Every structure is written in structure tokens, then in C-alpha cells.
Copies of this chain bind each other. A is one copy, B any other.
Amino acid sequence: MAGPFVAGVDLGGTKIQVVAVNGTAVKGGSRTATPTTSAEDVVHEIVGSVRLAVQQAGGRLSGLDKVGIGTPGRIDGRKGVVSHSGNVVGMMDPFALGPAVSKELGGLPVVIDNDVRVAILGEYERGAGRHYKNVLGVFVGTGVGGGLVLEGKLREGRGAAGEIGHTLVKPGGRLCSCGRRGCLEAYAGRGCIEATARRWQAKKRMKTELFEIMADRRRDRLTSGVIAAALERKDKMAEKLIDEAIKALGIAIANAQNLLDLEAVIIGGGLGDRLGKPFVDKVAEAARPHLHVPDKPPDIIPTELGDLAGAVGAAILAGG
């Protein structure tokens, strides 16, 4: 019989990604949509996905040792409580996610941590970061998350370290989802990119096929796939938006580099992974003029685990 397994869960606003690992190998996985009805339904869906991933790995729930969960929001790791998670139903107010999942799994140990922290843990231990000891992870998705490993240890600070997304890159600049102006996220986060595109479209600032591509794909958001397709068609607005994202990423990464002298910067997240190495190379090029020691730049590279980084990191968190 296969196993024992550890399950890693990446709970996102739109999907739940689970992996079942044995030792350091991913043996099975599953992905489902995140319920939008209630927190209890989310818990139920997580447990179903964990079962499926373990089955895919050739095992059964009885062969499961532990579960790790990465989730957006603020975390009380000791109590397994998540709060301030605006993208998952019922988790804005404190919700005891760990205990709830544990209960449905017959008391199995469940640990939880922040989604960005587990993703950098995944990439650092088993992905693009495994050859380095000092790494910044920049996750360009709906927002821009960050995680910092210094001398082999995840930087926690007083609980809020890693927020490179809220580096001020342009004083008085574009409005950010955090309510301030000119943050990196205001230029590179998919959510702010979409808001800007809609504003430019309303003002007829320039022609774009972005919204036609969105409609053709039956989407109601400018997903990473929509943006990538528009870039392939050399859409002017998409090109301008991504060019500004690249410049903003270059500034924020160079500032972090000048302060910390890192070995590597790993760029991932939904949009980062979708646009891949050509995008990452342009970010490296945009950072170079701002580096104080330009002859010793950090390696600026894409993720290796892609959208599995969070789930793999969650499994590592749980000891897998």
C-alpha cells in the first residue's frame, strides 16, 4: 500500500489546489473551484480535494499523516485561525480553518500559514530557490505578494514582512487596492491592471482588444490568459500596461537588492507564471539600471513549481 502521505492545500480565491506528497515527491494532486457559498462548504471542498489527491497518489485517507494549508489573510498559526481574507467566503472575520478541516478528517493534525509564505517555502525548498540561501519571491497575481528567505530562514519580522507589493515606486502614482497611491501592486497586480484598463477603455484613451478577447473567452475578468493573448496580438493597451508593470517590478526589486544584496529573485504568481521567462527577463533588464552594484546582480528567474508552489509549500509546512 502507498503512503504515508502528507497533503498540501493551496486555498485561493478561485481554486483549491491540493498535492499529496510522499517524502519529497508529489505523488498525486487535485484542483477544484473554491465554493462561494459558505466557509463550511469551503472546508468540505478542501477535505474532498484532499481525499481525491490521496486517491490519485494510490492511497487512502487512512494513509494520510498530516495536512498543511496555505491561505490568504492573517494567520494565527497556533490556533489555526484565519482572518482578513477578503477573497474567500466567510474568512474575513476570524475562522478556525485548521480545526474545522481537522475535525472532518477525524482529528488529523492540520497546520495553516499565509499563502505567500508557503509558496516561497515551496520554491525555496524544492523549486527555483533550492540552490540559494538568500532569495526574494515576488508573486505577481491578482495582487503582488512577496516572501523573503535570508540566510536560509523565512523572514517573518513581527508578522508582516515581505510586502514588496506595497513598495512605493511612484510617489502620487496610480491608486492601489490598499488605498494608497503608487505601490508596485498598483502597476503589476492583475486586479489593478484590470481596473486601469477599464478606466482607459471608458476614457477611450487607446484602442484595445482586451475586452473582446475577454468576451470571446466567456470571462468577466481580464485573466492572465486574456492579457497574454492580447500581448500575442500586439495589443497596444496590453503592451503599455505590462510595460509599466515591468518597470515598476524593476524598481521595487532593485531597491530590495540594494538594501539586502540577495543571491536570487524568483518571479511567479498567476500573471508571472503565465507570462513566463520572457517577462522575467524583461524585469531583470528593467532592474539593472537601478542596481547600486550592477556588475553583481541577483539571478532573476521564474518559478519552477509554477502554480503548485503553494500546495507543495503547504505540504512542506506540515512536514512533508
Interface residues of A (CB under 8 A from B): 134, 146, 148, 150-151, 153, 155-164, 166-171, 178, 180, 247, 251-252, 254-256, 258-263, 289-290, 292-293, 296
Contacts and interface: CB of A to CB of B under 8 A. Distances in A.
Nearest to A289: B180
A166 to B, nearest CB: 4
A109 to B, nearest CB: 28
Contact of A162 (B148, B180, B259): B259
A166 B251 CA distance: 11
Contacts of A164: 258-259
What's the number of copies of this chain in the assembled complex?
2
A287 to B, nearest CB: 10
Contact of A167 (B153, B160, B259): B259
A276 B3 CA distance: 64
Looking at chain A's contact residues, is the secondary structure mostly helix, strand, loop, or mixed? loop
Given A157-B262, A170-B171, A180-B290, 5 more contacts: A168-B251, A168-B255, A171-B251, A255-B255, A256-B259
Contact of A292 (B155, B169, B178): B178
Nearest to A158: B261
Given A171-B251, A296-B158, A296-B160, A166 B258 contact: yes
30 contacts: A134-B157, A146-B259, A148-B259, A148-B260, A151-B153, A155-B261, A156-B261, A157-B260, A157-B262, A158-B261, A158-B263, A159-B261, A160-B261, A160-B293, A161-B259, A161-B260, A162-B261, A164-B258, A167-B255, A168-B169, A168-B254, A168-B255, A168-B290, A169-B171, A170-B171, A171-B251, A180-B290, A252-B255, A256-B259, A259-B259
